[in-house]
Amino acid sequence: NIGSNMVIRKKNKNKSPVIDLTGKDGNAYALLGYAKTYSKQLDYDFDTIEKEMTSGDYEHLVQTFDKHFGDFIILQR
């Protein structure tokens, strides 16, 4: 499990977008908005992802976002 103090980082070789979880883009509503946008772009089922993201606390939401979009987006603390 990812602890609350752990940094989620991936090497940014391809200049993937970075979301700073400590800034305004790191709040739950912003992450859900990004998930909706990226779901449309990647033809993912947003309703299913949204349910999974909102089925736990903030850390669960972040982990779920990373699970679905981590190959494309870098989350950073």
Q: What is the largest CA-CA distance in the chain?
A: 32
* pLDDT tier at 15, thresholds 50, 70, 90: confident
pLDDT score for 19: 95
Q: Please, are residues 60 and 6 in contact by the beta-carbon 8 Å criterion? A: no
pLDDT tens digits, 18-57: 999 999 999 999 999 999 999 999 999 999 999 999 999 9
Residues 6+ apart with CB under 8 A from 45: 39
- Percentages helix, strand, coil for the chain, rounded to the nearest 5? 50, 10, 45
Q: Please, are residues 42 and 48 in contact by the beta-carbon 8 Å criterion? A: no
- Whether pLDDT at 10 is above 70: no
Q: Please, are residues 69 and 17 in contact by the beta-carbon 8 Å criterion? A: no
